[in-house]
Amino acid sequence: MSTGCCDELIDVGRLAVRQRRVLIWVMLINLATFLMMVAGSVMSGSSALLSGTLDNFGDALAYMVSLAVVGASVQVKAKAALFKSVLIGFAAVAVLMQLILKGINPEVPIVETMGIAAVLNLMANSFCLMLLTPHRSDDVNMASVWECSRNDVFEGFGVIVTAVLVYWTGSAYPDLIVAVLLLGLFTRSAVSMGRTAWRAMHVA
């Protein structure tokens, strides 16, 4: 029995080390991507790209929180997941405010800048998702991080589609429409993650 307990502790310790390593990588990638997306969204004037920028910043903060609670109790991890759902909610509100301002005075984004930033963003987020997928079922903390990363990949595809539509139509409205769709995705994710975290807190 004693040997079994020791083996279990070693396995948990190894899992925590692997989780920390992965979270450090995805946090650094998201911070770098955030800086690139800030430059891209400012230079291109894209609402969809800005929504991705805010999402990357929120994710970088979320990964920091996840890193801090690796190896913690289920209760602490659930609270961290709840906090991450709030961050996603704030990103959704920021996108909504920006959409209102852009809707009043729509401007056609610079497609070339928008497209390059979107492709680089999708490549970075796809790599992060690949790193996180083996850990998605570890616990509520890693599951919430995986969901953040999955949203990033959807957002990356959405911005690329937006760039193509803006180029094809010469209009700013595809950019606004895709930003609205991303807003819906963020809102749904925030609610879903919040519910899961809330249940985990009360079960624990």
pLDDT tens column, 163-174:
888 888 888 788
For the chain, report the end-to-end CA distance as a whole number of angstroms.
25
Q: Which backbone phi and psi does 108 adopt, to 5 degrees?
A: -75, 120
Assign 11 a pLDDT band (cuts: 50, 70, 90).
low
Return the domain boundaries, the chain. 2-203
Question: How far apart are alpha carbons 10 and 12 in whole angstroms?
Answer: 5
**Amino acid 133: pLDDT:** 92
d(CA 54, CA 176): 16
Q: Is the pLDDT of residue 148 over 50?
A: yes
- Asked if residue 95 lies in contact with residue 179, where contact means CB atoms within 8 angstroms, the answer is yes
- pTM, 2 dp: 0.71
What mean pLDDT is predicted for residues 188-199?
75
DSSP state letter for 163: H
pLDDT digits (tens, 9 = 90+) for 12-33: 577 778 888 888 898 899 888 8
Flag whether pLDDT at 103 surpasses 70.
Answer: no
**Complete DSSP assignment for 33-78:** HHHHHHHHHHHHT-HHHHHHHHHHHHHHHHHHHHHHTTT--HHHHH
Check residue 7 and give its pLDDT.
42
Amino acid at 175: D
CATH of the domain spanning 2-203: 1.20.1510.10
Could you tell me which residue, 22 or 72, shows the higher pLDDT? 22
pLDDT tens string 31-67: 888 888 888 888 888 777 777 777 777 777 777 777 7
Torsion of CA 185, 191, 194, 198, to 10 degrees: -150
Are the C-beta atoms of 95 and 54 separated by less than 8 Å?
A: yes
